[in-house]
Structure 1
Amino acid sequence: MESVGVLGSGAREALAAPAADALVVDLFAAEATRLVSLARFFVEDRTAAEDLVQEAFIRLSRNAHRIRDPERAAAYLRSIVVNLARDHNRRGLVSLRHRPPAVVDEPSAEETAAARESRSEVVAALRGLPRRQRDCLVLRYYLDLSVEEVATTLGISTNSVKTHVQRGMRALATSLEEKR
């Protein structure tokens, strides 16, 4: 956690409790909707995506008093969402055989307005990519993060992000061309 600006048990300067609470509230107002959209790239169910984001904010609020760099808190929060989504999918694979298929969500007004056939093809192709390529592409182009912000969120080097983005774009183009 040290790399994302969160303290271990050292005596470094951290946010006071009121400032930490204000940071969580501000992040919720600024990022919650985008984080639900981000989580939807990793999980099929909108309710599950909302639950993952809620859990991410709970985890952030528990440790917000330990944050020493508020500028990096959004990246820390995104990494929590991505990791929770991975865990959700890993657990889901085990229980998938024992539950009925999920009911397709009713699209929200925002999703309905933005939905097109090409978008669903792109999302399906994204879900078929290797995990790290998908993570890098979604964070880079869907959330419009810089290469450095993606690297911070995923805890990898900027060169790794560039490599994964390049390979992911190539694989995405190939996949979409095959469907046409």
Structure 2
Amino acid sequence: MGENAVEQTLTQLRVLDDRPHARSTPSTAPRTLADLYRDHRQRMVRLAVLLVDDPATAEDVVQEAFAGLHRHWSSLRDEEAAVAYLRTAVVNGSRSVLRRRRTARDYVPPHQVNARSAESLAMLSAEHQAVVDALATLPPRQREVLVLRYYGGLSEAEIAEATGITRGTVKSTASRALDAVGRVMNNPGGS
């Protein structure tokens, strides 16, 4: 299982998420914020869900990213820069959510569990669910790197830019994360 299952699952999610209109040929009219919202919102939400593991929180993170894009709209040079801005904003917003969760856990009894929605569970096969569950055990940076690489389809350089870490750190983090996911998946009991 391990690395191959992670790649297949996240790549399959990316393929399912790609929409024909999001990759359409550019028209003569300039793209608007509404066009970007329509074409990229769902993909950004899925990215955030993989990072924060909660659909409602992911929606909030993406809404904040689009609000930030609106505030900086006039200073962006093109659509690619806008999408890169959104991706970085979603990663940073997800990090903030995870930091707040970590702080909140200090005050919440450890036996409380965040349950995944029935919709998200029904959409995944058992093997895919095992991969998503294994991702949830990773430290935030490792999860970010794997999600951006295999779900986001980003290169090491793009991941480095989106996360604010070096390319070498991206590479070593991805390697450690894949090893950790493989160990979790090969030892589902967690002993």
Q: 1:148 aligns with which of 146, 154, 157?
A: 157
CA distance, structure 2, for counterparts of residue 65 and residue 122 of structure 1: 40
What is the rounded CA distance, in whole Å, between the counterparts of 1:95 and 1:129 in structure 2? 19
Paired residue secondary structure (1:144): coil
Aligned position for 1:32: 41
Judged with a 3 Å threshold, the aligned counterparts in structure 2 of structure 1 residues 163 and 53 are, in CA distance, closer, same or farther, namely same
Equivalent position of 2:90 in the other structure: 81
> SS state of the match for residue 107, structure 1?
helix
Query: Is 1:91 matched with 2:100?
Result: yes
Residue identity opposite 1:145 in structure 2: L
Displacement of 1:28 in angstroms is 1.5
Q: In the alignment, what sits opposite 2:138?
A: 129
Q: C-alpha separation between the residues in 2 aligned to 1:65 and 1:117?
A: 45
Query: Which digits, 9 at most, give the CA deviation of each residue in 1:10-33, with x for residues without a partner?
Result: xxxxxxxx96xx442232122111
Superposed CA deviations along residues 66-106 of structure 1, whole A, max 9, x for unmatched, are 12354232122111111111212222344454698666534
For the 8 Å contact 1:43–1:89, the answer to whether it is kept is yes
Q: Indicate conservation of the 8 Å contact 1:23/1:70, yes or no.
A: no
**Which runs of 5 or more structure 1 residues have no equivalent in the other structure?**
1-17
Q: Residue 175 of structure 1: CA displacement? A: 1.6
Rounded to whole Å, the distance in 1 between the matches of 2:63 and 2:144 is 20
RMSD after superposition: 2.6
Question: Where do residues 41-80 of structure 1 align in structure 2 (5 Å cutoff)?
Answer: 41-80=50-89
Answer yes or no: is 1:107 the counterpart of 2:119.
yes
Gaps of at least 5 residues in structure 2 are: 1-28
Question: Quick one: which amino acid aligns to residue 38 of structure 1?
Answer: L
- TM-score, with structure 1 as normaliser: 0.75
Per-residue deviation, 1:37 = 0.8
Instruction: Report the CA distance between 1:168 and its aligned residue.
Output: 1.2
- Tell me the residue number matched to 1:119: 128
Give the match for residue 187 of structure 2.
178
